[in-house]
């Protein structure tokens, strides 16, 4: 107990415990110290990677100090905290962000410059932390940055996968997957907490008995156990002392259990059990927006939610408050349905272990949780087979059935004699075998449910959760439009533009208050400013052109229009439609006379993104893009008028180079399918225009920047059903331009057409679920509008400036504040820089 320390000891601590000064020499000393001791290297034996490691270790020392200070002060004040449960945190690189947020970027750059290294090279030596599939994971990372910056007491909980999202290589035009063993070298951004080890149980059976009051109670008697070990990743806020935490769990075998097998003389089984235990956090599932249904995935979800709740409950119990205060102290946000088991686990802890009665426990549970939905695609809805669930989590299954029973009883009371309604709303789907609908469980166990953009939130109210809106009332279903952090996506990724903005606005306050970008609106017509603006865009394009040359061996001109579509490859995102339109463009160019060609706007069409390894059709889209690129890029009749590029292994740090270099980016999902999109926000924030559909956050971006600064085409969400119906039953013919394009593929213009047959057959009349044919004509027109607008560079630059100027709404600071005010009911807690213990 610190309070019992003698005064001399406290004084000694306070003399020793001083934050390091932030002058160049102190920084250089710490770098050299880490090179020569932690890394055991000699100065003359240093490369960029060693320099990166040393700088990271040096920055980490400071992060840890801030982290300690924050967590110490939080423990003492014990305000309400929010816990963000996400199976994915797509952090990317950490060093640049850590130095920026610590306010030490310039002095570190100078410091290592004098030691003979360039900051850019050092920064680029870091590999990405890629513990996520796409923007669900990246959103979690942006939110952690904003939570710390706005000084909210928040922790993230996730898994520490040994293998992040696979590395993609392109071999003969096809995607090939390679493991991402990112922990090959020590990860300096994590603090292993080997002392925090939590037992997690699986399988076994349930023991039911009467307690001393004659009440039936249940106790889970598990059959297996593993250990959860904590690894903490400090998340510093920008321009604040606050430093939050992401706690990632790693699975390890339990010693007691392998000893049992060992003592039975079954050495091999004990080793096998140990391997099984480590497997739980071995690999991130590489599917986005599809449900794999694998047992190991369910194990991951339970392992993670149980460890996290154990930690949260332990922290709460230290305060010795009454259980009814739990929702006053704890808010838990479920990032999609992946952590929904946490609802069941908390109910189990309260009822089985803390002996609360069911109703009191359930009241606490539902006041604690809130749930974010990220998709309406049916194939993405999580369902778990009851037999598999029962084997792994027998007690939890009983609880799920009880939750469902009590819930349906209440529904029945409100809406009597409606069996169809009960069937639709049930948490259990009557199939062979029965399935647990995790989205229904998440809705029933939460006090707020949100979608991630206005259209999407309305859609979930009208479709998948319609019955629930009628039952609970509409207040429970809210919208929080996604956001992105301006620190990474403008200040770091586009540093030159960031400097120009600061110089123009006279302050860098916009980095924390993105609405201040509005001040750029008055510069729209300023010729000098326009020139600087375009010069920066061009420099960014030169940088991307160099990257394309290096990674793809393709020469592209930075004077062409850069047209970018980078995101996960998925049918609903319609990269297929994009490449079909590229083929159309290619055929058109080939049909022109030299005089006509002189009027063609040169364009570089850039693709990037990973397909889930088992998603055959998506992988064929990648193959088609590469086959088209091969033909087009080598056709002398086309030259610089059209280039097609597929950049392999798209990830966060590539995005940081690609986003600032785009003139146009494509966000062209079938209306109603893309919940929000967040890269659309990143591109526009960097002065790139959008070619897109009326889907997700595109709609709100349009509202903010004005319809003259965005290229919109295609059908609207409410038209989709009718169009599908018309296609299927009224024999609507295929778009003629599309027919021409398909004929060219089938003729063998791009390799053996047999390869692409399964892809082309997705467009068969009546089967074109994503409405490529229906939208094709308006898509081609929108592309022409883009070409025409780009030719008028005087107007284009104005559009580009207006884009950036009006993107304030899409700061993740705004999103996080909405969550804090309307869902979590938490307040900022400012950490003071006192550096003293007492
Ligand atoms: O979440 C995305 C949505 O598609 C996108 O529209 C939205 O902007 C973004 C942030 O809200 N969803 C994902 O990225 N989803 C996944 O990555 C995913 C991963 C594993 C799953 C399911 C989905 O099992």
* Tens of pLDDT, residues 466-482: 999 999 999 999 999 99
DSSP string, 202-225: E--EEEEEE-TTS-EEEEEE-SEE
- Mean pLDDT value of segment 18-34: 93
- 835, pLDDT greater than 70: no
Lowest mean pLDDT among 260-264, 298-302, 684-688: 260-264
The number of beta carbons lying within 10 Å of the beta carbon of residue 528 is 8
Beta-ladder partners of 384: 436
List strand residue ranges (DSSP E) for 549-687, in order. 561-566, 603-608, 642-647, 664-667
Distance, in Å, from the CA atom of 524 to the CA atom of 530, rounded to the nearest integer, reads 7
Please state the atom number of ligand 1 nearest to the C-alpha of residue 674: 6
pLDDT in tens, 273-318: 788 899 999 999 999 877 887 999 999 999 999 999 999 999 999 9
Average pLDDT over residues 822-834: 94
pLDDT at 797: 98
**Is the pLDDT confidence value at 828 over 90?**
yes
Q: How far is the CA of 673 from the centre of ligand 1 (A)?
A: 11
674 lines ligand 1 (CB under 6 A): yes
Report how far residue 478's alpha carbon sits from residue 455's, in angstroms, rounded to the nearest whole number: 11
Of the given ranges (183-192, 404-413, 573-582), which has the lowest mean pLDDT?
183-192
Ligand 1 centroid to residue 778 C-alpha, Å: 27
Q: What is the mean pLDDT of residues 438-454?
A: 98
Question: Going by DSSP bridges, is the β-strand pair 191-202/174-178 parallel, antiparallel, or unpaired?
Answer: unpaired
Please identify, by atom number, the ligand 1 atom nearest to the C-alpha of residue 456: 6
Q: State the pLDDT confidence band at 259, using cuts at 50, 70 and 90.
A: low
Which residue's alpha carbon is nearest to atom 1 within ligand 1?
136
Measured CA angle at 431 (ends 389, 440), to 5 deg: 65
Q: Three-state DSSP class for 232? A: strand
Residue 261 is predicted with a pLDDT of 64
Catalytic site positions: 374, 567-568, 573, 678, 682
Torsion of CA 593, 594, 599, 602, to 10 degrees: 110
Q: How confident is the model at residue 44, as a pLDDT?
A: 85
Answer yes or no: is the C-beta of 672 below 6 A from any ligand 1 atom: no
257: pLDDT strictly greater than 70: no
Q: For atom 5 of ligand 1, which residue has the closest CA?
A: 677
Q: How confident is the model at residue 270 (pLDDT cuts 50, 70, 90)?
A: confident
State the pLDDT confidence band at 453, using cuts at 50, 70 and 90. Answer: very high
Percent of the chain at pLDDT exceeding 90: 92
Ligand 1 atom having least distance to the Cα of 677:
8
Our answer on whether the CB atom of 453 is closer than 6 Å to any ligand 1 atom is: no
* pLDDT for the residue numbered 288: 85
Work out the widest C-alpha separation in the chain, in whole angstroms.
95
Residue 260's pLDDT band (cuts 50, 70, 90)? low
The pLDDT of residue 19 is above 70 = yes
Per-residue confidence at 267, pLDDT binned at 50, 70, 90? Answer: confident
Tokens 């991130």, located at residue: 284
Q: 765 falls in which pLDDT band (50, 70, 90)?
A: confident
Percent of the chain with pLDDT over 70: 98
The region of weakest confidence among 249-258, 290-299, 492-501 is 249-258
Structural domain 524-716+775-800, CATH architecture: 3-Layer(aba) Sandwich (3.40)
User: In the prediction, which pLDDT does 231 show?
Assistant: 98
Instruction: Kindly provide the ipTM of the predicted complex, given to two decimals.
Output: 0.97
First vs last Cα of the chain: how many Å apart? Answer: 11
Q: What is the pLDDT of residue 631?
A: 98
Mean pLDDT score of the chain: 96
pLDDT band at 838 (very low <50, low <70, confident <90, very high): low
């Amino acid at each position: 107990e610190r309070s019992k320390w003698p005064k001399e000891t406290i004084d000694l601590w306070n003399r020793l415990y001083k934050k390091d000064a932030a002058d160049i020499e102190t920084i250089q000393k710490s770098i050299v110290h880490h090179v020569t001791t932690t890394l055991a290297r000699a100065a003359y034996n240093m490369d960029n990677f060693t320099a990166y490691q040393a700088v990271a270790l040096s920055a980490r020392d400071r992060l840890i100090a801030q982290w300690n200070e924050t967590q110490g002060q939080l423990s003492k004040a014990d305000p309400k905290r929010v816990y963000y449960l996400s199976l994915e945190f797509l952090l990317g690189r950490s060093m640049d962000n850590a130095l920026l947020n610590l306010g030490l970027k310039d002095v570190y750059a100078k410091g290592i410059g004098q030691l003979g290294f360039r900051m850019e090279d050092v920064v680029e030596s870091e590999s990405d932390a890629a513990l996520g599939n796409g923007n669900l994971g990246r959103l979690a990372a942006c939110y952690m940055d904003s939570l710390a910056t706005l000084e909210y007491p928040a922790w993230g909980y996730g898994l520490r996968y040994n293998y992040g999202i696979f590395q993609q290589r392109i071999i003969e035009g096809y995607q090939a997957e390679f493991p991402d063993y990112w922990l090959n070298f020590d990860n300096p951004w994590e603090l292993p907490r080997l002392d925090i080890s939590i037992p997690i149980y699986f399988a076994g059976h349930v023991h039911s008995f009467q307690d001393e009051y004659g009440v039936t109670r249940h106790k889970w008697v598990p059959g297996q156990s593993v250990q959860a070990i904590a690894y903490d990743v400090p998340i510093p806020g920008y321009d604040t002392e606050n430093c939050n935490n992401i706690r990632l769990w790693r699975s390890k075998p339990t010693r007691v259990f392998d000893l049992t097998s060992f003592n039975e003389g079954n050495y091999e089984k004990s080793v096998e059990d140990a391997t099984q235990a480590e497997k739980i956090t071995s690999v991130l599932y590489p599917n986005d927006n599809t449900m794999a249904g694998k047992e190991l995935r369910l194990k991951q979800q339970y392992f993670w939610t149980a460890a996290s709740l154990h930690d949260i409950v332990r922290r709460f119990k230290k305060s010795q408050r009454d259980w009814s205060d739990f929702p006053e102290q704890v808010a838990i946000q479920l990032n999609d349905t992946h952590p929904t088991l946490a609802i069941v686990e908390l109910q189990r802890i309260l009822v089985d272990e803390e002996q609360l009665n069911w109703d009191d426990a359930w009241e606490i549970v539902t006041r604690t949780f809130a749930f974010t939905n990220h998709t309406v695609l049916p194939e993405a809805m999580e369902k778990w087979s009851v037999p598999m669930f029962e084997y792994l989590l027998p007690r939890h299954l009983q609880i799920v059935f009880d939750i469902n029973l009590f819930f349906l009883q209440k529904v029945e009371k409100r809406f009597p004699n409606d069996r169809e309604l009960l069937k639709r709303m049930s948490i259990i789907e009557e199939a062979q075998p029965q399935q647990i609908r995790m989205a229904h469980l998440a809705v029933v166990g939460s006090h707020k449910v949100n979608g991630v953009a206005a259209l999407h939130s309305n859609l979930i109210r009208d479709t998948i959760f319609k019955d629930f809106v009628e039952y609970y009332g509409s207040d429970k279903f809210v919208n929080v439009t996604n956001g992105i952090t301006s620190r990474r996506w403008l200040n770091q990724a586009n540093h030159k533009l960031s400097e120009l903005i600061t110089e123009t606005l006279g302050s860098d306050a916009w980095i924390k208050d993105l609405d201040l970008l509005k001040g750029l609106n008055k510069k729209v017509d300023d010729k000098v400013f326009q020139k600087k603006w375009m010069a920066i865009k061009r420099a960014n394009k030169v940088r991307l052109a160099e990257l394309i040359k290096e990674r793809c061996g393709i020469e592209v001109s930075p004077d062409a229009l850069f047209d970018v579509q980078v995101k996960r490859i998925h049918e609903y995102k319609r990269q297929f439609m994009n490449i079909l339109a590229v083929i159309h463009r290619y055929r058109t160019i080939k049909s022109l006379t030299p005089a006509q060609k002189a009027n063609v706007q040169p364009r570089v069409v850039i693709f990037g993104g990973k397909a889930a390894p088992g998603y055959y059709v998506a992988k064929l889209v990648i193959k088609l893009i590469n086959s088209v690129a091969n033909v087009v890029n080598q056709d002398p009749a086309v030259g610089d008028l059209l280039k097609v590029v597929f950049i392999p292994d798209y990830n966060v740090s590539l995005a940081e180079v690609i986003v600032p270099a785009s003139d146009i980016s494509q966000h062209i999902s079938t209306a109603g399918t893309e919940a929000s999109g967040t890269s659309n926000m990143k591109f526009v924030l960097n002065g790139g225009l959008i070619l897109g559909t009326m889907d997700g956050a595109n709609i709100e971006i349009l509202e903010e920047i004005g319809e003259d600064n965005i290229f919109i085409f295609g059908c609207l969400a409410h038209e989709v059903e009718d169009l599908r119906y018309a296609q299927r039953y009224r024999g609507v013919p295929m778009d003629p331009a599309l027919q021409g394009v398909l004929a060219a593929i089938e003729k063998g213009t791009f390799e053996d057409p047999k390869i692409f047959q399964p892809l082309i057959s997705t467009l068969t009349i009546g089967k074109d679920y994503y409405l490529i044919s229906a939208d094709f004509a308006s898509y081609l027109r929108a592309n022409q509008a883009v070409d025409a607008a780009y030719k008028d560079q005087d107007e284009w630059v104005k559009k580009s400036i207006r884009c950036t100027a009006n993107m304030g709404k899409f700061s993740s600071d705004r999103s996080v504040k909405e969550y804090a005010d309307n869902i979590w009911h938490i307040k900022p807690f400012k950490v003071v820089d006192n550096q003293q213990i007492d």
